[in-house]
Structure 1
């Protein structure tokens, strides 16, 4: 018996040494593979029973009707309350004539009304288009029209009402319903959604009314700027929403007693599908804020016994920038989950605020694949070893910075990059494993995100538009956006959209928009190189600067407004007449390197003024809050 035991130990030891020698990351790979298998099994169980997010919600209502689902502005709203309000909202949709499968656009601030409206429309099988409440003018009208909705539910707030009033001629086929009291004077076409809701039953709605729903039916439209101009409605089906919710529950080990703190906008996937979906799937509670406040963040966490916080990198940077407080590490938070946390902030954020575990993930609304950091590896957003890629065959290919396209070899195929290199993330498209549902609207919008003949004739891959770095241990790190989009303040900024808005000014002939790096900030700040209509103009006059300031403040959300302006006698173009950005990005806004006139958006006045060496030094030192 002893000989058998010794022999077994010897075999085990030899196997361990062989694994260490030929497969050094085997244990890490197994952690990730085991997580994937468990998630797949749970997901299949739900889908086989035809259970989607709304079914999960209704089950949680039965388990704990009086339990708080949402805490908002010190008021607790129970699961039962949301069940009743969402039933009224769903019936209101039927009352106003919406048919099964209809798309309804909603433009609502972070507040309980957003949640029960979304739940209510799921109850009756509608598709919800989540409109970004920061949008204005052309972008706003385009987003509503692109959804295909003929009804818009507008949340409370005079700013929202005013924004819609300004574009009414451009959305003439859309009926507008307002939540809360009607403003005076109101447009004749504005109707009260509350008046319809409040006269209807709040009893549960039988699930047979949504029997037309399948795993591949559209649940929600989430807008992404992508790389092709105006916002595009990306399709999220019921299956992917359930998967995201279950994945969030599993990675955070969420249980009913957890409290998640949500400061991100609900019109994005991160807050709505990952954050709220995770809360639903675990029967937990969500503390919802109307908007992020660095000053009150940890106060709220202590006040509400928060155990899980959701972040984007910009949130963490603002928190670290706050004056140190002896209470910084005193809270019940055990997990921080999110994306975009920079490696240089990670350590300070985790140690100063005493956060046991950070779960950084990577994903995009329309991306058929994603990654997650399960092992607290500092700065990483996931792992993609050769073993793991057998089950999730993503690829990373060389990016041509000058051409702003994947590099192709002599045979016309893309070139993979190895460890310790930066490459463009692409995902194979197949019905069996990764389906790319694309965008609602023109087919060409979807086609622009597909790469063909990548490694062999006939194959096709989803182009993420993201550059990723892979280290020698096969951990992944987000590097940057490519093409016509850059990320700033946690949002994707479309250079095409910004350029089109700027060139509508009659004294601007052309505008080359790009992102520039600033020390101590996440993403890239917007910068524009102008070519003036007047060929003899070499600078911007005070009147022009005022016009530009007013124009961008009116037409663009805050995160998309260019922070820097540059005037060039002639824009630099490639041989195929595409705007050349690489050199401009490298030169940035340094007055010593750039001889052209430079201007910056003064945060104190929200107006542009000349950028000199003194202002440049202050910006680089982090003394100007861009």
Structure 2
């Protein structure tokens, strides 16, 4: 008997060794696949019952009516309360004449109103465009017009009414409603949405009102700068919202969990992932109007938060706060997000006592997503040949000079090797992966596609992101390509910023790009300017003041160029495109660049000459750009 046991153990050991030789990393593949199946099962289970996010929410509103759904400013709002407000919001929208299937644009800060507005509009089958509340001037009017909405509802908060007032001549066919303001508090031309809501019944809205809604019917439009031009509304259908709402299945989120959400709800991270998973689990979300590093852990302790969401800058701000003995005291089990840099990963995890960090890779319009569920430091996912059968993607060599995938002599893309950086692309396979594109111009969607990638006739989605894949198939984010860079958790379109800069009367042309600053996430905006008056070799104080005022008035803080470089002539490629590669490499290094460079002083918000002293301070992290 003993011999049989020993023999069996020996055979098991041999099989284990053979399996490792034949399929290295099989156990990781199995673990990832098992957890991804949990996500897939959540989606399939809901769709098999004909349920989308709003149906799941209504089920929980009936099953757990008194349970807190949203905690805002320490006020606990139950599932029942939010459901009744959503019923009123949906009826109010129909009362003012919005037809089922229409687009409604909403521009609100994080507040309960954005939650019940979204839910209420889903109840009656609307498509909802979430407008970035940081936008101003032409960027804002463009976003409203691109949505196709004839109704814009703005919420409470400083600056929103003024911002919309400024663009009214550009959106003459859009009716503006205001939530949270009545009577003398709002402009006479704006209508109080609250007043209409107050007259509506809180009773359940019959599902037949939204009978036209199918899995691939657009649910929301999330704006992304993509790789070119002004913000574009990415189409997110109901099935994608459901899939995002099942993503926390990878780590077993339950109804007992409490999510802390300080990220803006106009972003897919907060809306689709944070809010979506709260709905599908029947959980609770602590909603904060905006991120605050000083109140972050205090809020988490006060509300027994178990899951936090982050972007890279959030973690860096938290690490930079004065240390406290209470920092590691909380009930958090998981931190979920993207953009956490390796240089602070371990410090963030260890100092704040975070058991597990789930770093992910994804984009609003990307057909797939990746996630790092094994605490692998710095990784945003894992993509082995086995896992690519279920989550298909490829990584190809990228020509930085041409800003396009490198092609071989046969015209096909070239896969990267281990530990190389390449462009991530996703095959578009019928019934498996799809790209819904952007609302509006077909050309905008077409720019995200690659054809004849590995063979004639194939088609791939271009993520516009460079990533590195190591020998264990872990994936690490490297950078963005094209006309977009990321700063402060936001995508910045260089084309849009260039167009805004050239509105200034003394600027002939502007070449905008992102530059690295030690100790920060993403790339800070920098612009090389060519002046109209060619006799000028630098900016005068008056020009600095004028330029500073212009970017402050028109651009959100994250999109304002932090550095300005004055060039006699802008450098061009052989195909007469603006040359960025050498400028990006040179950055704002005044020790090597002979052109005048200015920086946006964080105290005065004006452009000042950058000298060696300030340059050294910026490189040492002493100037908070």
Instruction: Give CA-to-partner distance per residue, 1:262-293, whole Å, 9 cap, x none.
Output: 11000000001100111111111111111111
Q: Any stretches of 5+ residues in structure 2 without a counterpart?
A: none
Residue 39 of structure 1 and its aligned partner are, at CA, apart by 2.1
Contact 1:70 1:112 in 2 (8 A): yes
Residue 72 of structure 1 and its aligned partner are, at CA, apart by 0.6
The answer for the alignment partner of 2:424 in structure 1 is 425
Alignment of 1:139-288 (within 5 A): 139-182=139-182, 184=184, 186-248=186-248, 250-288=249-287
Residue 203 of structure 1 and its aligned partner are, at CA, apart by 0.9
Q: Does 1:386 align with 2:385?
A: yes
The answer for the alignment partner of 1:480 in structure 2 is 479
The answer for the alignment partner of 1:115 in structure 2 is 115
Contact 1:50 1:214 in 2 (8 A): no
In 2, Cα distance between equivalents of 1:226 and 1:158: 28
In 2, Cα distance between equivalents of 1:574 and 1:388: 40
Q: Any stretches of 5+ residues in structure 1 without a counterpart?
A: none
The answer for the alignment partner of 1:308 in structure 2 is 307
The answer for the alignment partner of 2:103 in structure 1 is 103
Alignment of 1:340-379 (within 5 A): 340-379=339-378
User: CA 1:185 to 1:289, structure 2 compared with 1: closer, same or farther past 3 Å?
Assistant: closer
Higher mean alpha-carbon deviation, 556-565 vs 152-161, is at: 152-161
The answer for the alignment partner of 1:615 in structure 2 is 614
The answer for the alignment partner of 1:132 in structure 2 is 132
Q: Does 1:59 align with 2:56?
A: no
In 2, Cα distance between equivalents of 1:318 and 1:42: 34
In 2, Cα distance between equivalents of 1:333 and 1:457: 50
3-state DSSP of counterpart to 1:110: coil
The answer for the alignment partner of 2:603 in structure 1 is 604
In 1, Cα distance between equivalents of 2:20 and 2:256: 40
3-state DSSP of counterpart to 1:469: strand
The answer for the alignment partner of 1:539 in structure 2 is 538
3-state DSSP of counterpart to 1:552: helix
Contact 1:158 1:183 in 2 (8 A): no
The answer for the alignment partner of 1:490 in structure 2 is 489
The answer for the alignment partner of 1:586 in structure 2 is 585
Instruction: Give CA-to-partner distance per residue, 1:425-474, whole Å, 9 cap, x none.
Output: 00011221110000001000000000111111111110000000111111
The answer for the alignment partner of 2:403 in structure 1 is 404
Contact 2:228 2:482 in 1 (8 A): no
3-state DSSP of counterpart to 2:598: strand
The answer for the alignment partner of 2:442 in structure 1 is 443
TM-score (norm 2): 0.99
Contact 1:177 1:192 in 2 (8 A): yes
Residue 547 of structure 1 and its aligned partner are, at CA, apart by 0.9
RMSD of aligned residue pairs (Cα, Å): 1.2
Paired residues in the alignment total 625
In 2, Cα distance between equivalents of 1:605 and 1:251: 46
In 1, Cα distance between equivalents of 2:599 and 2:39: 48
Contact 2:137 2:166 in 1 (8 A): yes
In 2, Cα distance between equivalents of 1:12 and 1:244: 40
TM-score (norm 1): 0.98
Higher mean alpha-carbon deviation, 39-48 vs 556-565, is at: 39-48
Residue 38 of structure 1 and its aligned partner are, at CA, apart by 2.6
3-state DSSP of counterpart to 2:159: helix
Residue 12 of structure 1 and its aligned partner are, at CA, apart by 2.1
In 2, Cα distance between equivalents of 1:390 and 1:281: 27
